[in-house]
Amino acid sequence: MKFVAPNKLENDKVVLKLIDPSDFDALYQVAKDPLIWEQHPNKDRWKEEVFRSFFDVALESKAAYLILDRTTGECIGSTRYYGLNETEKSIFVGFTFYARAYWGTGINPLVKEMMFDFAFNFVDKIYLHVGAENIRSQKAVERLGANKVAEKLVSYVNEPERRNFEYALEKSTWLRSKR
């Protein structure tokens, strides 16, 4: 069975829909807040020209999502699958960001749960990259049950390499946590 990102994932709080070119303005309205990127390795992603590159690569991935508040329909962020390794049966989940109004509201675990549940139908391991200075995201990933397994320099298209921690979550660990 080959991994293909579904067009939509949803629960009672949020809807994840694959992004399309018309989503740029709505997503940039969230991304243009410099405080979102304060702990992020790429601190200038709030700038439109920098975010445009990020968005264009997200579109090309065919696995990036717009995160919508199910109640209001408002765009609240983005996330994606990437880096599928069919030999290892692994995939990355990341490039996730949320509007600050949604920080600490429990949305991130709900989004990740949907993504992990879907991905674990195809893979045995999920990886996540988190900036070495991004304490907030490191804590969030650890709360999901992922363990730090490496420190790496990671670059994004047209951006310099930055120090990141790599976290891994095994399918068996995830399934045990859901019992």
> Residue 115 carries which DSSP code?
H
Looking at residue 1, what is its pLDDT? 62
> What pLDDT is recorded for position 20?
96
Q: Looking at residue 164, what DSSP letter applies?
A: E
Q: Which residue is listed with tokens 């990671």? A: 154
Tokens of 46: 């709030």
What integer pLDDT is reported at residue 94 of this predicted model?
94
Q: What string of H, E and C letters represents the secondary structure of 32-86? A: CCHHHHCCCCCCCCCCHHHHHHHHHHHHHHCCEEEEEECCCCCEEEEEEEEEEEC
For 59-98, letters b (16+ CB in 10 Å) and e give eebebbbbbbbeeeeebbbbbbbbebeeeeebbbbbbbbb
How far is Cα 82 from Cα 93, in angstroms, rounded to an integer?
Answer: 6
Place of tokens 């989004």: 111
Helix axes 107-119, 135-143, angle to 10 degrees: 60
The pLDDT, as a whole number, for residue 101 is 96
**DSSP symbol at 100:** G
In sequence order, which residues have a C-beta less than 8 Å from that of residue 86 and are 6 or more positions away? 2, 3
User: Averaged in consecutive runs of 10 residues, what is the pLDDT profile of the chain (179 residues)?
Assistant: 91 97 98 94 92 95 97 97 96 96 95 97 96 92 95 83 94 88
